[in-house]
Structure 1
Amino acid sequence: MNIINKKIELSDGRVIEIETGKLAKQADGSAVVKMGGTMLLATVTCAKEVTEGTDFLPLQVDYKEKFYAAGRFPGGFMKREGKASDYEILIARLVDRALRPLFPDDFHLAVFVNIWLISAEKDIQPDALAGLAASAALASSDLPFLGPISEVRVCRIDGQFVINPTFSEMEKADLELMVAATEENIMMVEGEMNEVTEDVMLGAIKFAHEEIKRHCRVQKELNEECGKTVKRDYPHDEEDEDLRKAVHDFCYDKCYALAKSAKPKQERSEGFEQIKADFLATLSEEDQEAKAAMVARYYAHEEKEAMRNMILDEGLRLDGRQCAEVRPIWCEVDCLPCAHGSAIFTRGETQSLATVTLGTKLDMKEMDEVLVQETQQFVLHYNFPPFATGEAKAQRGVGRREVGHGNLAWRALKAVMPKAPEFPYAVRVVSDILESNGSSSQASICGGCLALMDAGVKIRKPVAGVAMGLITDAERPNDRYAILTDILGDEDHLGDMDFKVAGTKDGITATQMDIKVDGLSYEVLEKALEQARQGRLHIMGEMMKTISEPREDYKPFVPRIVQIRIASDFIGAVIGKGGETIQKIQKETGTTITITEENNEGVVDIFGTDKDSMDKALEWINNICAVPEVGQTYHGKVVSILDFGAFVEILPGKEGLLHVSEIAWNKTENVADVLEVGQEVDVKLLEIDDKTGKMRLSMRALTDKPEGYVEPERRPRGNGGDRGERKDRGERRGGDRGERRERGDRKGGDRHEGHRNSDRPRKPFGHKNDENNGGNEGGNEQEIF
């Protein structure tokens, strides 16, 4: 067993270790990357033969976090890892986008890259090591990979850039980027920011690249020590230079003219297909069949070069625009009368229908990853149906692309969203793409922003997004180039860089960048970011013509939230035994109620559409939490009758003893002759026992004392009082208290006031079983949303 170890020391002294030759040795390449107690195993395998008809790179990257890595059981009934979560898909996409451009254009063998988190130290973020692990596995193989690459997270914390910060450090960051690069070139950037400038973002990218260069040099050493500098041979595309020249001579000028004609997308696509068909018609029937794949490959190159050169030569776009020009925009809000918020955002041939739904804490998304367990108040979902591009096929679930585009839009809007406790609603934004010709993720950001303002959500500032492209001269990429604002779908595919920038008028909130050209200077990138800023501001100006700020109030049919704070001792009283009380309140008032515990207080949210019902629920809860006061009069209900008096509930869950002597000024011979269970009576609270909390009530104190009334003398109490001599416990008499009631006869549970369960931290409560009880120390704060 030939085990090879390499070490990378970060600028702050932390060490990353790379090991190969120990685990997964039957894979074409494998590596373990370790940082502290965190370990990732990456493997790469490659098919032996090309699947017939494959003219692309079938690369599959999967990232999986094993729950055993953190000593945890997976959730769910099966208690095992299932399909990839959105979080895992997003990490896999980051790695895929960095690796894919670095395989040869004619390499069509299926490649599978698997990255597993097998050990997890709780404060180290493993996703920042995934790209390095995948590249190290490729470096230990003989696949023709034109790397190596590495991937790091860079954050700005207290004004300083930090590489691969811990979870706790990231809480203070105002910029967070994932950057992937080779030793020479930036390949991929994605992240979110708190309205930072383009210069700050560019500085973070440069800082990350310097760290990545060191990672790449170590991997090159690893590749040499593994003896994998000579790469395997693979089936190359068959070439026919005469056919290539024939395709060029017949098709190039026609493609150039069509690209310059500024026809709509469908007409342009049909025109390009017709040019190819016309060339095939010049071949013999035998060659048409035998050389169809080769013709398609040569023609795709001519089509791409014609469009690129037209843009560089003419300074015009495929739809006739100038390079920095944004397509026509129209917007509409409040287009769906029953949605909480809605908007249509249309830019050229790209259209998003965005909607907003407001909910309670019970609607918030629960994340349960290996190292990340949190509740998301705001979610955004992006849907891309086939009809958006005129395709006639069924939609089968949510794809990786939809997850990625939705996450980018979510990051862009998250920076301006209001947060709890000032804003207690759960928020779901949905962007349904109805039509697409490029920049649909940015249309989702713009449409989502409009829908949020239409719903009355008090976002801090409006947000807009724009997708940019870059076309360069292959010989002089830094001298002859065209930066394109608001790219079309075709411009996305034929360009050397596409990047998306979203933000407010004051700075960037999210970005995604993919660079496919070697040797691109930072000066060109800086110019591209400035042009993106101008485009973003133009789009925002068009949006503001429709709605410029959030509505003053929510729509009439949007459920409202009344929020009150109660003493934590009363959380259990509101919930009741097994959730009985809170469920009863919800059922009888038609509201939804959640309870959380924050800073030793209970936060109660009452969610409903009818004001009277919400007021009823609020009064009910306030009564439960009310503190009985000596000397006050209460309208109570008789809950049980005894020989020596009755127990009266004066507030929900709060009972006091109405002694037979306190029913009337005249002597009451039989309590049952005067009172009955369920009868409502007015009583005065005379006393609360300091030790037990038991309450003594009176009815007669609310009436005038009869003239000449004399209080009867009480009999002196002997040893044992009026109960007689104490015998052994089996012979005790009840004295004048009557027979002891069975515990099951008591209303509201098996204890009187003053007996309480211990306090404990609580999660949001709605319909779950839970119980606690106790007293209160003051009034309840109330807020209405």
Structure 2
Amino acid sequence: MNVITKSIQLPDGRTITIETGKVAKQADGSVVLRMNNTVLLATVCAAKDAVPGTDFMPLQVDYREQYAAAGRFPGGFTKREGKASDNEILTSRLVDRVLRPLFPSNYHAEVYVNVMLLSADGVDQPDALAGFAASAALACSDIPFECPISEVRVARVNGEFVIDPTFEQMKEADMDIMVGASAENIMMVEGEMKEVSEQDMIGALKAAMAAIKPMCELQTALSKELGTDVKREYDHEVNDEELREQMNKELYQPSYDVTKQALEKHARAEAFEKILADFKEQYATAHADLTEDELEEKYAMMDRYYHDVERDAMRRCILDEGIRLDGRKTDEIRPIWCEVSPLPMPHGSSIFTRGETQSLTTCTLGTKLDEKLVDDVLDKSYQRFLLHYNFPPFCTGEAKAQRGVGRREIGHGHLAWRGLKGQIPEDFPYTVRLVSQILESNGSSSMATVCAGTLALMDAGVPMKKPVSGIAMGLIKNPGEDKYAVLSDILGDEDHLGDMDFKTTGTKDGLTATQMDIKCDGLSFEILEKALMQAKAGREHILKCITDTIAEPRAELKPHVPRIVAFEIPKEFIGAVIGPGGKIIQQMQEDTGATITIDEEDGVGKIQVSGPDKNSIDAAIAKIRAIVAIPEIGEVYEGTVRSIMPYGCFVEFMPGKDGLLHISEIDWKRLETVEEAGIKEGDKIKVKLLEIDPKTGKFKLSHRVLIDKPEGYVERPARRDRGERRPRPERGERRQHNDHRERPQRNDEFHEPNNEPKDFSDALDKMDF
């Protein structure tokens, strides 16, 4: 084995090691990356040839976490890993978005990158290392690839930027940003923040670039040592340069004219398609000698070349004349209209339309039982704010069936979720679910989801801290030119044909989430700052449109929203509320019709009571309050007689708490028996707590103090208070005093019937030892 190991040290002293040549040697490239106890295996395999007719980069990135890595069993019936979790899909997308632009544009062979988590102790976050491992595997292969990249997570903890922070450090962070870059250029940014400024974000990106550069240099050195810096040859495209030149000459001006007409999406697409269709028809007439197969080959080339013509026409029109595809200025936002409560029965609903992009979003409020269980390898938790994004084919006018949720839907929904989740109050008792249905799409439907989500939350009465808006920014910058244009609120075509898709969400006070993909070489921090500040102005404009529609969350929930009351109880009462086997809490739910959940957090019991109406909730709360209440001397309680004794009765005045109601405390008159007062087991009776014995904790109750004292009643003082004392009889007299008591018949070996020994010595004499 030719094992090669390279290491790099992070600013805080931790070491990342890359090793190749030991495992997975049949892959085109493989590495094992290790940081402390976190171990990743990354492999890459590429087909030798492209599938005929392929005109795109068929790259597939899969990041998977093995439960054995953390010493856990997978959940579910089969007890084995199944389909990728949302977290694995999101990490795969982060890696894909950095790698994809760096493959040659004419390279169309299938490439599969697999990154597998093999070991993790829950200290370091493995997803931040996946991009580094994937690029290192490519560096160890001869697959054509422009340059190494790496990814790092940047967090700001106590005002300091930390590279690849631990899980523990993230608890104190106000920024969480993943950055993918080459040694020279930022390629991808995604993350969330707690309303930070644009300058703070630029500072985080600079810290990331400083950490990424040596990681890329390490991969370059590794590639040279292995000899894989010389890449394999490939020939995946057949080109006709004469045809390319002819199309540039004949079709550029017609395409430029269509660009300036400011047509709507479908009309513009039809106009561009007609230009190409007319050219194909003319070409076929002029080249009647070509066979059908030869002509089809030429048509495939025309489709590729015309894409470049459209791209150049759109970019030059913006750079030279400042005219965009829909006629807007570079910093102009499309027309916006909003509406809340378009649907009668959802707990909250809204429509947000910006140009030709539209989201219909609903908000549903549920109980703690509706929380989502996250059961990932390194994260087992519950989510009480959910956001789901759907992109049906009809939103772009496509005639095709709607399949299951894809990676795109998961990624866009996650970005919108990140933008909004920080504005849901932590003490809001409901579980919240937003569902965004994209009804029209022409650019930045994820940002429309953020805006529609804010409207739906406020319509539902969720007390958001601050409303959130979002915008997507674009960039046009040709290589070798200093001139560039930053575009606000980009269209789908401007995203496709431009150099940047930069989405930001935020409140009036700062950024809450961001996602950026860069397609050009070189993005200076000057351009980045301009894009951020232009995005801020755009977000403020959109935020005003939102608040003009609904200024603040509704003060009251809608009538059909289930009511929830949340409160806390001391930890020691949790068992009493639940009861043995859940008997007490189940009985309370059956009696009241309410749903009761209880959980221990931060050393207290957190209870949620939900029900269809106020009466059921109040009844359940009263029962719980009674269980956890602490008896107070002087308080009056309604109790239940549990047992009757000759000297009084025991009354349960609080759940699980019985006190003695002495016969003398039942009534002002003298009673010989408890029954004289008409009291029997099961009766309800009001009692006052007079005393709690400090030693035994026993409760002394009284009923008579709650009824009027008879007129002329004189309390007879106790004998000790009268100063009287009954003379104590002599020993013999005591014996005679007790002779009148009936004695039981005894038939043991030393007692004769009715012949009880007169003292203990007589009994000893009769015992047979």
CA drift of 1:32 comes to 0.9
- 1:463 and 2:468 aligned: yes
CA drift of 1:431 comes to 1.6
CA drift of 1:325 comes to 0.9
Tell me, yes or no, if the aligned pair for 1:439 and 1:487 is still in contact at 8 Å: yes
Matched residue type, 1:465:
G
- 1:503 and 2:517 aligned: no
Separation (CA, whole Å) in 2 of partners of 1:651 and 1:441: 55
Secondary structure of the corresponding residue to residue 192 of structure 1: strand
- 1:298 and 2:302 aligned: no
Separation (CA, whole Å) in 2 of partners of 1:627 and 1:506: 46
Which position in structure 2 is the counterpart of 1:483? 486
Tell me, yes or no, if the aligned pair for 1:72 and 1:370 is still in contact at 8 Å: yes
Tell which deviates more after alignment, 24-33 or 408-417: 408-417
Tell which deviates more after alignment, 222-231 or 168-177: 168-177
Which position in structure 2 is the counterpart of 1:608? 611
CA drift of 1:64 comes to 1.1
Secondary structure of the corresponding residue to residue 74 of structure 1: coil
- 1:519 and 2:522 aligned: yes
Trace 1:138-217 onto structure 2 (pairs within 5 A): 138-217=138-217
CA drift of 1:152 comes to 0.6
Secondary structure of the corresponding residue to residue 281 of structure 1: helix
- 1:418 and 2:425 aligned: yes
CA drift of 1:83 comes to 1.2
Structure 1 residue aligned with 2:379, among 357, 372, 375? 372
- Residue by residue, what CA displacement relative to the aligned partner does 1:311-354 show, whole Å, maximum 9, x if unpaired? 22221111111111110011111222222222211100001112
CA drift of 1:180 comes to 0.7
- Residue by residue, what CA displacement relative to the aligned partner does 1:501-546 show, whole Å, maximum 9, x if unpaired? 1112222211111111113322222222222122112212222221
Which position in structure 2 is the counterpart of 1:445? 450
CA drift of 1:249 comes to 3.6
Separation (CA, whole Å) in 2 of partners of 1:702 and 1:497: 80
Matched residue type, 1:265:
K
- Residue by residue, what CA displacement relative to the aligned partner does 1:249-280 show, whole Å, maximum 9, x if unpaired? 44322222222211111111122222222222
Tell me, yes or no, if the aligned pair for 1:641 and 1:672 is still in contact at 8 Å: no
Secondary structure of the corresponding residue to residue 549 of structure 2: coil
Separation (CA, whole Å) in 2 of partners of 1:637 and 1:386: 66
Separation (CA, whole Å) in 1 of partners of 2:745 and 2:357: 94
Residues 309 and 584 of structure 1: is their aligned pair in 2 closer, same or farther, counting only changes over 3 Å?
Answer: same
Secondary structure of the corresponding residue to residue 6 of structure 1: strand
Separation (CA, whole Å) in 1 of partners of 2:98 and 2:65: 20
Matched residue type, 2:457:
L
Tell which deviates more after alignment, 495-504 or 423-432: 423-432
Separation (CA, whole Å) in 2 of partners of 1:548 and 1:201: 29
- Residue by residue, what CA displacement relative to the aligned partner does 1:365-413 show, whole Å, maximum 9, x if unpaired? 2322222233323222211111111112222221111111111111112
Tell me, yes or no, if the aligned pair for 1:661 and 1:668 is still in contact at 8 Å: no
Separation (CA, whole Å) in 1 of partners of 2:400 and 2:634: 76
Matched residue type, 2:336:
I
CA drift of 1:656 comes to 4.5
Tell me, yes or no, if the aligned pair for 2:634 and 2:690 is still in contact at 8 Å: yes
Separation (CA, whole Å) in 2 of partners of 1:708 and 1:688: 23
Tell which deviates more after alignment, 59-68 or 558-567: 558-567
Matched residue type, 2:449:
S
TM-score normalised by length of structure 1? 0.85
- 1:567 and 2:574 aligned: no
Separation (CA, whole Å) in 1 of partners of 2:243 and 2:347: 60
Trace 1:49-88 onto structure 2 (pairs within 5 A): 49-88=49-88
Residues 636 and 44 of structure 1: is their aligned pair in 2 closer, same or farther, counting only changes over 3 Å?
Answer: same
- Residue by residue, what CA displacement relative to the aligned partner does 1:644-681 show, whole Å, maximum 9, x if unpaired? 97654333333456678987844449x79966554434
Separation (CA, whole Å) in 2 of partners of 1:702 and 1:445: 62
CA drift of 1:486 comes to 0.6
Structure 1 residue aligned with 2:435, among 430, 435, 460? 430
TM-score normalised by length of structure 2? 0.87
- 1:680 and 2:684 aligned: yes
Separation (CA, whole Å) in 2 of partners of 1:723 and 1:184: 108
CA drift of 1:638 comes to 4.1
Separation (CA, whole Å) in 2 of partners of 1:149 and 1:667: 95
CA drift of 1:612 comes to 1.9
Secondary structure of the corresponding residue to residue 105 of structure 1: coil
Residues 568 and 221 of structure 1: is their aligned pair in 2 closer, same or farther, counting only changes over 3 Å?
Answer: same
Secondary structure of the corresponding residue to residue 327 of structure 1: coil
Separation (CA, whole Å) in 1 of partners of 2:649 and 2:706: 17
Secondary structure of the corresponding residue to residue 195 of structure 1: strand
Q: Count the aligned residue pairs.
A: 720
Tell me, yes or no, if the aligned pair for 1:661 and 1:667 is still in contact at 8 Å: no
Trace 1:634-673 onto structure 2 (pairs within 5 A): 634-639=637-642, 648-656=651-659, 665-668=670-673
Residues 698 and 108 of structure 1: is their aligned pair in 2 closer, same or farther, counting only changes over 3 Å?
Answer: same
Tell me, yes or no, if the aligned pair for 2:479 and 2:521 is still in contact at 8 Å: no
Matched-pair identity in %: 59
Separation (CA, whole Å) in 2 of partners of 1:415 and 1:157: 17
- Residue by residue, what CA displacement relative to the aligned partner does 1:457-479 show, whole Å, maximum 9, x if unpaired? 22222221111111112331xx1
Matched residue type, 2:401:
A
Matched residue type, 2:366:
G
- 1:535 and 2:538 aligned: yes
CA drift of 1:621 comes to 1.4
- 1:552 and 2:533 aligned: no
Residues 600 and 230 of structure 1: is their aligned pair in 2 closer, same or farther, counting only changes over 3 Å?
Answer: closer
Which position in structure 2 is the counterpart of 1:330? 337
Separation (CA, whole Å) in 1 of partners of 2:101 and 2:2: 31
Matched residue type, 2:483:
R
Matched residue type, 2:210:
E
Separation (CA, whole Å) in 1 of partners of 2:745 and 2:576: 40
Which position in structure 2 is the counterpart of 1:589? 592
Tell which deviates more after alignment, 591-600 or 702-711: 702-711
Secondary structure of the corresponding residue to residue 82 of structure 1: coil
- Residue by residue, what CA displacement relative to the aligned partner does 1:7-39 show, whole Å, maximum 9, x if unpaired? 111222221100011111111111111111111
